[in-house]
Structure 1
């Protein structure tokens, strides 16, 4: 990497800005591109870039593509942009911020991917490592750019990294010592086109591993487990349904690990977990396997599992008003995630759903209602598509609202004591919000308005 001096950073979101800053510290010559014009950008950011002698292409395609040794593409930027495709034909290397961090920095990487459960599992693993007094940073798709930490990491640092398919797509040398694949269900097909392509991108997480490394994978998820054929590292399966000869599983209501010496290590009872739902049991199994095979004591793993209360925007209890519970699951950005949320809630549900269309299908989502969802309150670009699917499958109690405030008011009016108003959109947020976090916070503020 030392011979690469000229970089173009594409996309000036959080990871793009962090990548540009890292490259400047590295001593590289940096140019940046964003589809926004200079007038649409934050003034402070533009002024900072100019003071650092960064060439800015704002609202206009970059020129002299063959002058760059590498282009660093932010995760949300599609790789089929014409100038990126042209750069490829010119032999310019295309990488992402995760790959850049790995090349420039130090430390040991724990990489976690999957359609659902990434944030919860990454956060949980981070807590286990911190409780084990490891030098730990929790980074990646969780909201903290990897480059913001990688350059200050030491040889004994641990970077617990949530990896999206968009990030993995632009990796080449990225080599985690332990990685995990939680599940694969249809998602981001607007970008990856087919489920097979999506799975291939997810499989890049273990591509550079060796026999000294570990790959933790969901034994119960066929789409994930079939990928082990191409894996060179030690495969550590986890299962909540089956007893395993090696790996992490549930035995007599307890999380246990059978190690390479066939010793059975008891972790804790499944009923001791605070986080609800079978999907969160799977997340706990994965986190236990990751941590144990990194050498962390079972007692520390158990203590953390018993204390972990989950993450914001994932089945997050917000309030109870007049006997009606409000739960924020804005992290439910695809149908499978929302199905898991519906399954985890006890009692009847008024469900708020809808958002940006990622070319998802909603039949299984509607079928998961099972008489449990009393009413469906829709908003956003996918509202007509979800309504059409629901009505075709015989579900009729549907209400369309223009914004989150109206959705919350309508849901409250439909609910009875003992019911749960659940925001679990089954869609991304980008049609109305900048992120699922912003959407979740807006939901919570709308709930607070009801309490006034």
Structure 2
């Protein structure tokens, strides 16, 4: 749902690679005035800027107009923009809401069910596999989106919204996606990361925990049963929790080291050698 006040004012999009361009295009489709900018100025960025200019966006490459950003109704941050980047800091200082590009996309996909994958490692592979398995199960329009491949906003621009979307979500995206409500959430593992931005592992883990912020009784969670931090994070979340493991039997699935089988709900699914990862 796009707030009406966005249409009366202007929304700033920070970052003009694939996700930023898709976000700006999505906003224009919903009749929202857009100011889009990027601190770099490469041929690809200038090409995107020209395309957005043709849609009626105000665009800067090689600079950000911090005053204009501070006057915007909201700021949409591309996945690659650090949370402490000057345009986002200027927005927050001015009291302007900063939202992830993912947040914009899901507001425009109200009927799409989300399978959201986060964790320190394995997000991209798991999200891609999820989308593949959903399609193999008969959901032919299931898609994958995130920091790899297709931006979530590009999915929202499609003529038909998918029934399911497998989303790779970083800690930065989780921080600025307050509406994110996974039908299924996957926590692959946890270890300290991005400490140059977060300062402490606890701050980083706090953003990862936002995967569960909108947990409800219908939510389903799949969590690494070998990871004590992941288990503790998911312990109080509403919904149904299942675990997977590489070291012990687990409800959702586990790796049988003796026979080198991947086992799903007690039934051997495939041999490790058949999974080319």
TM-score, scaled relative to structure 1: 0.55
Q: Displacement of 1:20 after TM fit?
A: 0.8
Cross-structure match for 2:178? 172
Alpha-carbon distance, 1:85 to partner: 2.4
Residue-by-residue CA offset, 1:20-72 (whole Å, 9 max, x unaligned): 111111211111111025x7664432322222221123333322335321100
Asked if structure 1 preserves the Cα contact closer than 8 Å seen for 2:143 and 2:162, the reply is no
Who is 2:76 aligned against? Answer: 72
Between Structure 1 and Structure 2, how many residues are aligned? Answer: 268
Instruction: Kindly report which structure 2 residues correspond to 1:104-183, keeping only aligned pairs within 5 A, or say none.
Output: 104-106=108-110, 107-134=112-139, 135-152=141-158, 157-183=163-189
Distance in 2 (alpha carbons) for counterparts of 1:152 and 1:268: 34
Rounded to whole Å, the distance in 1 between the matches of 2:264 and 2:51 is 51
Residue matched to 1:268: 269
RMSD over aligned CA atoms reads 2.3
Report deviation, 1:219: 0.9
How much does 1:7 deviate? 1.0
Asked if 1:100 corresponds to 2:104, the answer is yes
Q: Deviations over 1:263-294 (max 9, x none)?
A: xx51424x35423xxxxxxxxxxxxxxxxxxx
Task: Quote the offset at 1:172 in angstroms.
Answer: 0.8
Residue 402 (structure 1) aligns with: none
- On the 8 A contact 2:16/2:48 being kept in 1, the answer is no
Work out whether residues 76 and 166 of structure 1, in 8 Å CA contact, stay in contact via their aligned partners in 2.
Answer: no
Q: Which residue of 1 aligns with 2:95?
A: 91
**Equivalent pair of 1:16/1:97 in contact (CA under 8 Å):** yes
Contact kept, 8 Å, 2:120 with 2:191, in 1: the verdict is yes
Q: Work out the CA distance in 1 between the residues paired with 2:131 and 2:273.
A: 17
The corresponding residue for 1:218 is 224
Q: Deviations over 1:334-367 (max 9, x none)?
A: xxxxxxxxxxxxxxxxxxxxxxxxxxxxxxxxxx
- Deviation per residue, 1:56-115 (Å, 9 max, x gap): 233333223353211001122122234422322332110011111001124111111111
Aligned partner of 2:49 among 43, 46, 51? 46
Q: Secondary structure at the match of 2:274?
A: coil
Q: Match of 2:13, SS?
A: strand
CA distance in 2, matches of 1:136, 1:190: 35
Q: Deviations over 1:377-411 (max 9, x none)?
A: xxxxxxxxxxxxxxxxxxxxxxxxxxxxxxxxxxx
Q: How many angstroms apart in 1 are the aligned matches of 2:153 and 2:19? A: 8
Answer whether contact 1:100 1:147 (CA < 8 A) is retained.
yes
With structure 2 as the length reference, what TM-score do the two structures score? 0.87
CA contact (8 A) 2:46 2:61 kept: no
Cα separation, 2, equivalents of 1:110 and 1:142: 15
Alignment of 1:375-390 (within 5 A): none
Structure 1 residues 239 and 41: CA distance shift in structure 2, 3 A: closer
The answer on whether the counterparts of 1:105 and 1:151 sit within 8 Å (CA) in structure 2 is no
- Matches of 1:255 and 1:157, distance apart in 2: 28
> Is the Cα–Cα contact under 8 Å of residues 105 and 152 in structure 1 kept in the other structure?
no
Paired residues of 1:216 and 1:236 also in contact (CA < 8 A): yes
Q: 1:200 is matched with which residue? A: 206
